[in-house]
């Protein structure tokens, strides 16, 4: 169910619980600013979720409140995951939903990294 990205951070969301180790995840990368893991409902041969370790509801929240180090570290982590998975040469897609109209379902910023096949048009026409 889509969430309201303007609401306060909910520390009981599934990604907060993964960060605390309460729920297992198949990790592919972790550093001081980000955690990346396989999506349990993969929409492509490669479907990774990259989340910041800080408590940010959405991209809007992160860009407004995140420190320069957190933002740079998170963006670098996304690129490192793509490189480590060999996705740069064939290509990959990044997607970050913010709010109800975009279909954001978890109130913790997350970037979907898709790859492993031709992905087609960005939006259905």
Exposed/middle/buried for residue 96 (C-beta within 10 Å: 0-12, 13-18, 19+): middle
Q: pLDDT per residue over 44-99, tens digit each?
A: 999 999 999 999 999 999 999 999 999 999 999 999 999 999 999 999 999 999 99
Nearest to 29 by CA among 92, 94, 81: 81
Known catalytic residues are: 110
Query: Rounded to two decimals, what is the model's pTM?
Result: 0.95
DSSP 3-state assignment of 93?
strand
Residues forming beta bridges with residue 51, ordered by sequence position? 35
pLDDT of residue 1: 79
């Amino acid at each position: 169910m889509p969430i309201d990205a303007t609401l306060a951070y909910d520390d009981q969301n599934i990604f907060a619980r993964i960060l605390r180790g309460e729920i297992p995840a198949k990790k592919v990368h972790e550093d001081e600013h980000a955690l990346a893991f396989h999506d349990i409902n993969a929409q492509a041969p490669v479907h990774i979720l990259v989340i910041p370790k800080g408590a940010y509801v959405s991209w809007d929240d992160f860009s407004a409140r995140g420190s320069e180090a957190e933002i740079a570290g998170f963006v670098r982590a996304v690129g490192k995951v793509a490189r480590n998975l060999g996705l740069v040469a064939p290509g990959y897609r990044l997607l970050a939903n913010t709010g109800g109209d975009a279909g954001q379902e978890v109130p913790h910023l997350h970037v979907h990294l898709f790859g492993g096949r031709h992905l087609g048009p960005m939006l259905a026409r």
